[in-house]
Amino acid sequence: MEQHLSSISQQYLRKIGLNKRFSPTLDSLEALLASHIRSIAFGNLYQYLGIPTNIDPENIATKMIDQNKGGYCLEHNVLTQYVLSDLGFDTFNLLGRVYYQNMHTATPPRTHLITIVRIDEELFLFDPGFGGQTPTSVIPLSKIGEKQESPLGIFRIIDVQDSEVPISALISMKYMLQALIKDEWINIYAFNPDHYVAKSDLLLAHWYVSTSPKSIFTQNLIFSIIHQNQRVSLNNNILKIYSKNGVIKQNLFNIKDYKDIFSQFFQIVLSQEEVDLLSKKLGLH
């Protein structure tokens, strides 16, 4: 059957280098994720600089595909959910709570958007939008507690009761995504596949992440991408390249360093306005 795709989906497929017909299979889903995380950067440039953004698919496509400015989790997963549905996948978004690098004693807000895909009645996690710990393969929700090997990391999904997070800090959550880091299972984020999200939920999460002074994305410059089979992550003025041989670390000292890094690794060309705003925010020249 001939596919009649929206202009957004056609743009997306060209952007990630998979301009071909797709059937809604697990192999297709894996190919889409692998290409996405190598082609579209995770990043919060606009949130960090205070530039307003809109999370309608059309506006996200303009920003992430046409203008190539990257995006954070809500932008990545609103776009991919739209495209996957257009390609014939049975898919929906969920909002999760982030526990990475923090042992919460109180419940964090639901601010991380993920995509769930149903294939032959089985649910799969498809998430290109968690930055430096983004799973690099699709993860089945049917294999709770089992190690899931991926090209750049080992993950698993467990019951939240086994996460060592106090139950009082896990309100309404069911599963926890974990990553194996330095031989230790680290909590990444929790979610509940039974709790669908409304557009109003997305708007509220986007407003908080993009504007709150308590949001990590308004206070820190964070970027990540898979580049030449290596994870490349930028956190403020420190660039790290992770490979099987270890970690290469580079400090950024001036605005030229940032412009070079954005161009070389994230395929982003900063406008003069963005350069000026970034220089002012970072206190650079």
CA angle 62, 65, 71 (to 5 degrees): 85
The domain 216-282 is placed in CATH, from the list 3.40.50.300, 1.10.3720.10, 3.30.2140.10, 3.10.20.90, at 3.30.2140.10
Q: What is the pLDDT of residue 4?
A: 86
Q: What is the pLDDT of residue 243?
A: 83
Q: How does pLDDT run across 197-240, given as a tens digit for each residue?
A: 999 999 999 999 999 999 999 999 999 999 888 999 999 999 99
Segments of the chain scoring below 50 in pLDDT:
1-2
Q: What is the pLDDT of residue 52?
A: 95
Location of each CATH 3.30.2140.10 domain in the chain: 216-282
- Spatial neighbors of 100 by CB under 8 A, at least 6 apart, are 133, 186, 187, 188, 189
Q: What is the pLDDT of residue 20?
A: 80
Q: What is the pLDDT of residue 1?
A: 40
Query: Phi and psi (nearest 5°) for 85?
Result: -60, -40
Residues in the chain: 285
- Spatial neighbors of 228 by CB under 8 A, at least 6 apart, are none
Location of each CATH 3.30.2140.20 domain in the chain: 7-211
The domain 7-211 is placed in CATH, from the list 3.90.79.10, 3.40.50.300, 3.30.2140.20, 3.40.50.1360, at 3.30.2140.20
